[in-house]
Every structure is written in structure tokens, then in C-alpha cells.
A and B are shown apart, each in its own frame.
Chain A
Amino acid sequence: GAGVSQTPSNKVTEKGKYVELRCDPISGHTALYWYRQSLGQGPEFLIYFQGTGAADDSGLPNDRFFAVRPEGSVSTLKIQRTERGDSAVYLCASSRRQGAAETQYFGPGTRLLVL
């Protein structure tokens, strides 16, 4: 079946602009996760959803970052007033359900470049 998909695959924006990144999880997966990966580093957790609600947003770096999942499927990560330091690959993952031992399957990521 189809895996996790993310759009756009690449996004170039200017400092101060607003961006939205979209994630389509694997069909039927109830848990959805966002991570950020800087060059040469491992992914860093941002936020995860169980259904429509954000179960843990402890990884969001500041209040410029926000994510929604209004219908419990597709999620959008929103970044306001982008800064050059926001440049990274933003990865989305999903799992069948919430739980520490549930395998998370990753999408290809959105490469964000803030000029």
C-alpha cells in the first residue's frame, strides 16, 4: 500500500515568510509524528498526534511552530515568520496506533530552505 507522503518535496522561502508543510499518513494509521532533521544530524522530535489532538508538542522549538490534524488524517505543520535557522528537512511519520512500541514509518520529507 501507499506509504507516508509529504508535500511539497522542496520549499524555498524568504526570511519572515509563512510556510505550510503537509503530511498524508498511511491509511488507517491513527498516530502521526513530525520531526526535523538538520544536515548531518538525526531527526529531532517536534510533535505527535493521536487522532485529531496533539498528544505531545514538547519538541516544538517556539511558538512560531504550530501543527494541526483537523480530521485525524492529514496534518499540516505551520511555521510563521521563518528564520534561516529553520532550514532543515521536515519529516513526518505515522504508526498504526499510539504506543511506545509501535513502529513509526517515515515519509520522504520536505526540504525547507529559508533565504
Chain B
Amino acid sequence: GESVGLHLPTLSVQEGDNSIINCAYSNSASDYFIWYKQESGKGPQFIIDIRSNMDKRQGQRVTVLLNKTVKHLSLQIAATQPGDSAVYFCAENSGGGADGLTFGKGTHLIIQP
């Protein structure tokens, strides 16, 4: 099957370790940010989101950090598992009636056993 990870930055971590995936977004007017996980042959799956009035949000094993000063977003995954292997995309929505998401380039996360 196809590989959505082709030509993407790759991050390889040991199973059980924590991983951090970084993303630089483009629009300083963006007010909503989302992380999606995409496995090969599947559509993007929502992981966690954050609004621009927050700088940190936690979910189950995941934390998103937002630094608006440098337009940087990160996704932290704790105690990585084999099922975490996928391509991770950050996406932003600038609002103002334009509700289509703008996606980043993606990072291919590989969990080593």
C-alpha cells in the first residue's frame, strides 16, 4: 500500500519512551490548532486540539503546547506504544469565516520495539 510517510521528516523512538513532535504554523491570526494522526491507508484521526487563548492542554498520554510568540506547536506523547506509529500532522484554522484547515508537512513517528 501507499506510504503517507514518504519524504516526511521521521522521528524514531524506543517503545515506552516519550516523544515530542514539533510544528511551526504560518498564520499569526490562527486561533485554533489540532493534531491529527494518520495511519497508512486511512484518513486523519483527531488526537487533541487547543485554542489560541491557551498554552497547554493535556489528554490521555498526549499534551499539546502552543507558543504563539514564535508560532510553534508541539505534541508530546508519553510512554509510546507500537500503535502510536503513524504520520502526525498539525493543522491550524484561521477562522474569520474560512473554516478550512491548513495542514503542516507531517512527521512520521516510528516506534522501535
* B-binding residues in A (CB < 8 A): 4, 31, 33, 35, 37, 39-48, 55-56, 58-59, 91, 93, 98-109, 111
Question: How far, in whole Å, are A115 and B95 apart by their CA atoms in the complex?
Answer: 38
Chain B neighbourhood of A47, CB < 8 A: 100
Partner pick for B99 among A37, A42, A102, A106, CB 8 A cutoff: A102
Which residues 47-66 of B sit at the A interface, judged by CB distance below 8 A? Answer: 49, 51
B33 to chain A, nearest CB (A): 10
* A-binding residues in B (CB < 8 A): 2-8, 31-32, 34, 36, 41-46, 49, 51, 89, 91, 93-106
A40 engages B8 (CB within 8 Å): yes
B2 engages A39 (CB within 8 Å): yes
Q: How many A-B residue pairs have CB under 8 A?
A: 86
A44 engages B93 (CB within 8 Å): no
Question: How far, in whole Å, are A105 and B46 apart by their CA atoms in the complex?
Answer: 7
Partner pick for B103 among A4, A42, A100, A102, CB 8 A cutoff: A42
A43 engages B44 (CB within 8 Å): yes
Question: How far, in whole Å, are A40 and B103 apart by their CA atoms in the complex?
Answer: 12
23 chain-A/chain-B pairs, Cβ below 8 angstroms: A39-B2, A40-B5, A40-B7, A40-B8, A41-B105, A41-B106, A42-B89, A43-B44, A43-B89, A43-B103, A45-B100, A45-B101, A48-B99, A56-B98, A91-B43, A91-B44, A101-B32, A101-B51, A101-B93, A102-B99, A103-B46, A104-B46, A105-B46
* Chain A CB within 10 Å, residue with most, of B36, B93, B95, B99: B99
Question: How far, in whole Å, are A108 and B41 apart by their CA atoms in the complex?
Answer: 8
Chain B neighbourhood of A4, CB < 8 A: 43
A108 engages B42 (CB within 8 Å): yes
Partner pick for A100 among B4, B8, B44, B94, CB 8 A cutoff: B94
A100 engages B99 (CB within 8 Å): yes
Q: A45 — nearest CB in chain B belongs to which residue? A: B100
Assess A103 versus B43: contact at CB under 8 Å? Given A33-B100, A40-B4, A56-B99.
no
